Chain A
Amino acid sequence: MSLKSNPDRWGVTNLRLAFPKKQNMFFKDLTFHYQKGEKILLLGPSGSGKSTLLQVLSGLVPKSIELPMKTDKLSVPESWGFIFQDPDTQFCMPYADEEIAFVLENRRIPREDMARLIRHYLQMAGLSFANPHQLISSLSGGMKQRLATASILALEPDILFLDEPTALLDPAGTEQLWQTVQRIGKDRTVLIVEHKIDQVLDFVERIVLFDDSGRIIADGPKSDVLHHHKKELDDYGIWYPGVWHAFEKKNPGNHSKNSMAAKPLLELDDFHVFRDRQVKFSLSHLIIHEGEWVAIIGENGAGKSTMVEGIMGLVRHRGKVHWHLKNPADEVAFVFQNPEYQFVTDRVDDELGFNLVLKKRNRDEINERVDQTLTQFSLSNQRLQHPFQLSVGQKRRLSVASSLIDNPKAVILDEPTFGQDARNTFALLDLFQKLRQKGTTVLMITHEMEVVRHFATRVLRIEKGRLVEDFLQVPDNDGKGGVNGHALDEHGQAVFQNQSFL
């Protein structure tokens, strides 16, 4: 695949672009160029147009995504591959081999070569199936993203565009994907948009930093940009190495160890949860006490969600679930992983008031509480919008706010900080902590070992549908882990490994 003009340099000069139903042009004469072999990281707050720029550079905008745009000069490479954020929507075939074959068919590779090439690309992406005819829906998120990588490799691309490929992956999946990208990206040009940058930093050389309005405010070698723009990184909610450290300085975390003498809140006895008629989680005995912050940890598919859904009575279960509360249905809140599922009204303020209306509170009280909550969660400007129109962070805040508006006695959260930027994550954690101080018990599924270390007073580890570890800890902010921190260290370490850059 040869290129006609200036073979090793691509980019855009004076880009202007408009989003539908927006008054102003988004980029104002943005110019960005890159060369063969460069490894570039694009950073900026969400909504700063990094992903759009990536799509312009690859030619997806305006060819596949029609947006009105104007440039003085745009040179799009001929041979590129694009990895998107959502692992579920990148495939059009049911089986892994068929998906790669789809790309090979597009390239008009003879049929006889396909089986061999499919194995080859799967292996390059770090997927070694005994039989490549593997149902895609049976793969984990991380494996799906590596399959997406394999299918992109089948294009034999010179340039890789990665648009937050790990935003929806757990830590293990994230690490494996970056290992794969590093391996295959060595001889290629790579452009990455990413919020969680600690594992990417080793690999990239150049960082481009965007502000809220899509302007480039810094562009240069990574050490320079990271050094001179730490404030912006904080403001934009980027997960740079050491961001936890900065947060922990501001927020002392939970220091009071919960005494076992506290009143029991939830009792589980001989508790089994079923999915498709099979026991997917079982537990002989567990008591959660008032005022605890319980972190539920474990690998994907271990049964964490099954456990809490069983506790909430959302899936079939057997055994004793007893809340020491008058009316558990009203006093226990549950926050889903995907906020959009739990929106039940068409306006942000109705959404917040929904629970109170259901409990037949009087109108004035509801209005007052809604106003208060809107301010507290900085959603005042969005009060008349439809919940679906909000940004990712706002949606999450709204889902949490609407569950917590009536000060429940306990709240169960399914990965509340998942896919959120650093700024949102910290704001949420501050909030949960305030709630706990007011007496709410927090049960939280999380993969974020920093949250566990810093906030949890009790840790439950789930493995293969069973509770394998249950210990109390004094949450800690000196970076050394808890009392029984052995379980945390082995998992928590990856997050800080590149701290030397700062």
Chain B
Amino acid sequence: MVTLWTNTDRLFFKINPSFKFLISVSLFVVYLVVHNLNSMIWATVLFIVLFLLVNGFSGRFSFWIVLLTLIVSMFSAGAMILFGQGTHVLFHWYLIEITEEGLARGILIGLRTFIFSIIGMIMASTTLPVPFFYSLMQQLKVPVRYAYGCLAAFRMLPMMSEEFVHVRQAMVVRGMTRKKGVRALYDRTKRYALTMLAQSIRRAQRTAVAMEAKRFSMTETRTYYYEIGWSRYDLYFLALILCTVAFGFLLSNWMPLTPFTNVIDN
């Protein structure tokens, strides 16, 4: 789990995680209200570049993540492209009608999904869970029970993936995998869910008791092993993001790649 982050001493790891989080959220809002296809295209290009420059995952892993989000985005674009309304019909076949306007709207929605994922990945790939939750407690005053609860849950993810492997092996040995058909698939899914849920609930309960046995109190004040503060890197980060966003809008004015400046009006 923790081995996911390969280069933890990069610039973006030094930014205050709460700040990074808030900026990411406001970027979501910004790109939610953009209806100019040109701005979206340029912003996407710039954020991919930024992601590739700053991310803390290994090159291979980032490649697959980008590819995967691209595929997901294409799905979300698909519905709009294939069935969108408009006057300039490009292609028509039974129910499917591709129009220029629909295509533009579809691509915009696809890119919006994609840019959200990329911004999310910039955040996730440069933020370790422990500093993130410490920062949430210290800067955003998130109640300690949620923060430590989430951290404890993080610890369980690798255990669950290990468990998944064991359950799969057990199914092979017991011959569950030899049965074919929908019914067998349902049985297997149910078995995975039941076994892993039962284990996880039990584990969560034990961990909760162990935490309380260590005098974890949800209300009283506490000291912190890590003090997450502010630094000049936060300013650099803000400047970098502002530049990226502004540059995106400027480029779309200077070099509009498509005629669709507002996909809603068309």
Chain A contact residues, CB within 8 Å of chain B = 58, 60, 63-65, 81-82, 84, 86, 88-95, 97-98, 101-111, 114, 135-137, 151-152, 155, 309, 312-314, 329, 334, 336, 338, 340-344, 354-355, 358, 388, 402
Contact = CB atoms under 8 A, between A and B. Distances in A.
B221 interface: yes
3 smallest CB-CB distances across A and B, nearest first, come from A101-B225, A92-B152, A89-B206
Contacts of B217: 106
A94 B209 contact: no
B195 A343 contact: yes
Contact of A86 (B129, B163, B206): B206
B213 A64 contact: yes
12 contacts: A84-B206, A94-B155, A97-B225, A98-B225, A104-B225, A105-B224, A135-B2, A136-B155, A340-B198, A341-B169, A344-B176, A388-B198
Given A89-B207, A104-B225, A106-B214, A341 B163 contact: yes
B166 interface: yes
A188 to B, nearest CB: 16
B1, B212, B221, most chain A CB atoms within 10 A: B212
Nearest to A91: B155
A340 B195 contact: yes
A284 to B, nearest CB: 26
B155 to A, nearest CB: 6
Nearest to B215: A106
A94 B214 contact: no
Interface string B37-69: 000000000000000000000000000000000
Contacts of B216: 102, 106
B223 A109 contact: yes
Contact of A137 (B158, B176, B221): B158
Interface in B184-238: 187, 191, 195, 198-199, 203, 206-217, 220-225, 227
Nearest to A330: B175
B225 A314 contact: no
Given A152-B214, A336-B169, 20 more contacts: A58-B213, A60-B209, A60-B212, A64-B208, A86-B206, A89-B206, A90-B206, A90-B210, A91-B207, A94-B154, A98-B130, A105-B225, A106-B217, A314-B173, A336-B166, A341-B169, A342-B174, A354-B175, A355-B174, A358-B178
Contacts of A108: 220-223
Given A108-B223, A340-B198, A341-B167, A88 B159 contact: yes
A105 B170 contact: no
A176 B169 CA distance: 32
A254 B191 CA distance: 39
Contacts of B178: 358
Contact of A151 (B148, B172, B214, B223): B214
B171 interface: yes
Nearest to B144: A105
Interface residues of B, number: 49
Contacts of A314: 169, 172-173
A344 B167 CA distance: 9
B74 interface: no
B7 to A, nearest CB: 17
Contacts of A103: 214-215
Contacts of A102: 148, 211, 214, 216, 225
Given A65-B209, A88-B203, A358 B175 contact: yes
B151 interface: yes
A411 to B, nearest CB: 11
A102 B211 CA distance: 9
B173 A334 contact: yes
Contacts of A98: 130, 225
Given A60-B209, A88-B203, A98-B130, A110 B195 contact: no
A344 B174 contact: yes
A100 to B, nearest CB: 9
Contact of A92 (B167, B171, B207, B225): B207
A340 B172 contact: no
B173 A64 contact: no
Contacts of A341: 163, 166-167, 169-170, 195
A495 B159 CA distance: 32
B184 to A, nearest CB: 11
Given A106-B214, A111-B225, A93 B199 contact: no
Contacts of A82: 210, 213
A47 B188 CA distance: 32
Contacts of B167: 341
A89 B210 contact: yes
A109 B209 CA distance: 22
A340 B169 CA distance: 12
Contacts of B130: 93-95, 98
Contacts of A65: 209
B170 A94 contact: no
B178, B208, B222, most chain A CB atoms within 10 A: B222
Nearest to B207: A89
A60 B213 CA distance: 7
A108 B216 CA distance: 11
A334 B172 CA distance: 10
B169 A309 contact: yes
A17 B169 CA distance: 41
Given A135-B2, A312-B173, A344-B176, A111 B151 contact: no
A47 B213 CA distance: 22
B31 to A, nearest CB: 33
A433 to B, nearest CB: 23
B2 A64 contact: no
A63 B176 CA distance: 43
B173 A342 contact: yes
Contacts of B1: 94, 137
A110 B223 contact: yes
Interface string B70-100: 0000000000000000000000000000000
Contacts of A60: 209, 212-213
A82 B199 CA distance: 22
A355 B175 CA distance: 8
Contacts of A63: 212
A138 to B, nearest CB: 10
B155, B187, B210, most chain A CB atoms within 10 A: B210
